[in-house]
């Protein structure tokens, strides 16, 4: 039975892929949850499409999935050494306040590092440091953060372990390309170096001019989040009815829908709710809330608004407390994603008050407790140094622009980022993993697992840190979409798509057909995840190459490189999402800066593959 010439089994798989793509793009439910649904659907359709329940869950046992889990853990072991942090702080000596040097330092260090350490934690560590570099160089952080993300993406093309899509491509090579047992650790490094060099040259020249300065230099956080009308100072007169009451109790009253941030008295400031101070006549309360709610508080307790005393960053810095004003990014794997701010209980557990949320072009300043946290959200928070340390360790929030942060050029690198005593051992273990895989002494999955074992038993990495380092949402996404790709191949769906694309061979040279594959794959990766893209496109590319009597490995490489480089949207790659808020970018900025880069690298990569590996 066939539908419009498509085998019925393949049509069912196409229908499932169509539903999955809609869910991936709309993100009505998280992508990893969609992937779990794909597993269930494949198992349910199994008798019809020839997929057993074991096949449906085979993604969890796939060598690529296990390898990626192990690489997350190994990356955490390297992060724990302090090497990346030390390098970030040391950049200040090279920059010396120059914008061009700041940009060169940003992309010139991030790219090579991302070839060996997972680029997501690298960007997470570098965001605060690059923000400080921008301040030191009197340049908008927007001019550096987008290049930071792009350089990290480019670095992923250097080695097999540079990004998860490379590891997936290697596993597909072993299964779909006759005569090949995967991809070598440095087999495509020569082309990766060219891609990185061209990409960095673009970022340092054309990209530098196209990247907008969305956030003004030395911007005031209060102004950046338009909180001038939400922050006020209220003086307590002798006639006020709240004199003698603990200041920490005021904001807990149901009739007071505002946050009391500080109590100021005789030049001293006390952070609320951490202080046990009682309100006295003459005290000044710094409060946050809608103007109407502040007016209700003022009228209810007979307070006087200080009309000529605007609240700015200086209000918090001039009378410092243990708390500071800062911005915080929500990473994709944060434990708070999907929870409302009320459910996250940040103030209760971590003494962290959220004052505003910036999401894309939307600024949320009211009814914050009801806001559901999403990846890429930028939070304006007031928090303590203890909370900053906690979030740095947990990775649930990436704190940047700390109000009390020292200037980076005034800090000794060893003081800020002391190296772990285990640093030489951790680096040696990582080098051993890469060397064993590169020399074919061990399969990469075994080498990576051996490296994790060695790091844990030698104390370079604790078991808890190892498990915490894994982005489990990515793991479930992998496990869900891998069997979908194989189902498409087994039912003939990949052949149907390949035949349609092979038809272009009649009027296009083979190299332009490959370019077409690259461009289409890149566009798809910018809309859905790179992982889902490579799983769907590699079987199609391999089948199409066979139909044109072309080299299937060359077409597989084109899909691999295209999937790994998503520059045109903030949702195409996790690092783009991480810099979206701190850089104050608009969606169109990624199109304007990333579009030409995507097209340039499409040509460079296609020509490079044709030259180095040949097309037939």
pLDDT of residue 450: 93
Give me 58's structure tokens: 């085979």
Which CATH architecture fits 330-403? Answer: 2-Layer Sandwich (3.30)
Nearest to 481 by CA among 31, 140, 2: 31
For residues 590 and 17, give the distance between their C-alpha atoms in angstroms, rounded to a whole number.
Answer: 27
| Cβ(297)–Cβ(287) below 8 Å | yes
Nearest to 160 by CA among 601, 586, 564: 564
Could you read off the pLDDT of 189-211 as tens digits, one per residue? Answer: 999 999 999 999 999 999 999 99
For residues 137 and 99, give the distance between their C-alpha atoms in angstroms, rounded to a whole number.
Answer: 6
pLDDT of residue 50: 77
For residues 377 and 355, give the distance between their C-alpha atoms in angstroms, rounded to a whole number.
Answer: 13
pLDDT of residue 556: 94
Nearest to 116 by CA among 65, 160, 170: 160
- CA distance from start to end of the chain: 35
Provide the sign of the torsion angle of the four alpha carbons 345, 349, 353, 359, taken in this order: negative
Nearest to 586 by CA among 573, 569, 599, 572: 569
Q: What three-state secondary structure class fits 374?
A: coil
pLDDT of residue 405: 39
For residues 169 and 165, give the distance between their C-alpha atoms in angstroms, rounded to a whole number.
Answer: 6
For residues 411 and 128, give the distance between their C-alpha atoms in angstroms, rounded to a whole number.
Answer: 14
Strands 259-265 and 268-271: antiparallel
* E strands, 215-347, in order: 231-235, 259-265, 268-271, 284-288, 304-305, 323-329
Whole-number average pLDDT of the chain: 83
For residues 292 and 257, give the distance between their C-alpha atoms in angstroms, rounded to a whole number.
Answer: 10
- How is the chain split into domains, by residue range? 229-310, 330-403
Cβ partners under 8 Å of residue 323, min gap 6: 271, 274, 316, 351, 382, 383, 384
pLDDT of residue 65: 85
Domain 229-310 listed as CATH 3.30.50.10: no
Could you read off the pLDDT of 357-383 as tens digits, one per residue? Answer: 988 778 888 888 889 998 889 898 888
Segments of the chain with pLDDT less than 50: 404-415
Residue 481: in which H helix or E strand, if any? helix 472-490
The β-bridge partners of 287 are 232, 260
Cα 199 from chain centre? 20
pLDDT of residue 409: 42
pLDDT of residue 526: 86
330-403: same fold as 229-310?
yes
pLDDT of residue 412: 45
Give me 595's structure tokens: 């579009």
For residues 111 and 122, give the distance between their C-alpha atoms in angstroms, rounded to a whole number.
Answer: 10
Please report, for the chain, how many H helices and E strands are present, in that order: 30, 12
């Amino acid at each position: 039975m066939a539908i419009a010439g498509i085998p019925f089994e393949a049509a069912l798989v196409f229908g499932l892929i169509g539903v999955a793509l809609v869910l991936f793009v709309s993100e009505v439910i998280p992508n990893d949850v969609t992937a779990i649904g794909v597993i269930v659907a494949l198992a349910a359709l199994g008798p019809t499409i020839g997929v057993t329940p074991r096949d449906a869950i085979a993604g969890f046992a796939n060598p690529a999935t296990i390898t990626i889990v192990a690489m997350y853990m190994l990356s955490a072991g390297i992060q724990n050494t302090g090497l990346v942090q030390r390098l970030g702080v040391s950049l200040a000596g090279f920059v010396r306040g120059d914008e061009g040097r700041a940009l060169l330092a940003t992309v010139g260090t991030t790219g090579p590092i991302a070839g060996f350490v997972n680029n997501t934690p690298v960007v997470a560590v570098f965001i605060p440091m690059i923000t400080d570099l921008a301040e030191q160089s009197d340049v908008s952080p927007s001019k550096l953060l987008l290049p930071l993300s792009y350089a990290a993406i480019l670095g992923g093309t250097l080695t097999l372990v540079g990004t998860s899509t490379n590891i997936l491509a290697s596993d597909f090579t072993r299964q779909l390309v006759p005569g090949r047992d995967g991809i070598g650790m440095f087999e495509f490094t020569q082309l990766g170096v060219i891609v990185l060099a061209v990409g960095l040259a673009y970022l340092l020249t054309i990209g530098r001019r196209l990247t907008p300065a969305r956030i003004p230099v030395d911007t005031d956080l209060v102004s950046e989040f338009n909180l001038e009308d939400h922050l006020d100072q209220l003086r307590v007169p002798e006639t006020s009815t709240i004199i003698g009451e603990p200041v920490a109790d005021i904001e807990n009253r149901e009739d007071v829908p505002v946050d009391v941030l500080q109590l100021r008295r005789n030049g001293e400031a006390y952070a609320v709710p951490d202080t046990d101070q009682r309100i006295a006549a003459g005290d000044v309360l710094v409060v946050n809330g809608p103007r109407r709610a502040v007016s209700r508080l003022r009228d209810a307790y007979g307070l006087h608004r200080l009309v000529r005393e605007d609240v700015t960053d200086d209000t918090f810095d001039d009378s410092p407390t243990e708390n500071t004003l800062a911005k915080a990014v929500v990473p994709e794997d944060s434990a708070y994603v999907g929870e409302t701010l009320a459910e996250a209980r940040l103030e209760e557990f971590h003494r962290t008050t959220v004052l505003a949320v910036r999401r894309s072009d939307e600024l949320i300043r009211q009814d914050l407790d009801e806001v559901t946290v999403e990846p890429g959200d930028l939070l304006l928070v007031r928090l303590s140094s203890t909370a900053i340390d906690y979030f740095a360790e947990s990775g649930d929030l990436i704190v940047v622009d700390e109000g009390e942060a020292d200037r980076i050029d005034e800090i000794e690198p060893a003081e800020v980022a002391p190296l772990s005593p285990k640093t030489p051992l951790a680096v040696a273990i990582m080098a051993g993993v890469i060397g064993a895989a590169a020399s074919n002494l061990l399969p990469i999955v075994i080498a990576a697992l051996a490296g994790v074992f060695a790091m844990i038993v030698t104390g370079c990495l604790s078991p808890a840190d190892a498990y915490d380092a894994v982005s489990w949402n990515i793991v479930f996404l992998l496990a869900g979409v891998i069997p979908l790709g194989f189902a498409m191949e087994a039912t003939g769906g990949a052949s149907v798509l390949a035949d349609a694309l092979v038809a272009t061979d009649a009027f296009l040279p083979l190299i332009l057909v490959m370019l077409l594959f690259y461009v289409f794959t890149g566009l798809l990766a910018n809309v859905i995840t790179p992982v889902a893209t490579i799983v769907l496109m590699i079987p199609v590319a391999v089948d199409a190459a066979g139909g044109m009597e072309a080299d299937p490995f060359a077409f597989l490489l084109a899909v691999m490189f295209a999937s790994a480089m998503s520059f045109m949207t903030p949702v195409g790659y996790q690092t783009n999402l991480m810099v979206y808020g701190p850089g104050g970018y608009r969606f169109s900025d990624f199109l304007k800066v990333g579009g030409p880069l995507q097209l340039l690298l499409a040509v460079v990569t296609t020509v490079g593959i044709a030259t180095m590996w040949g097309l037939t």
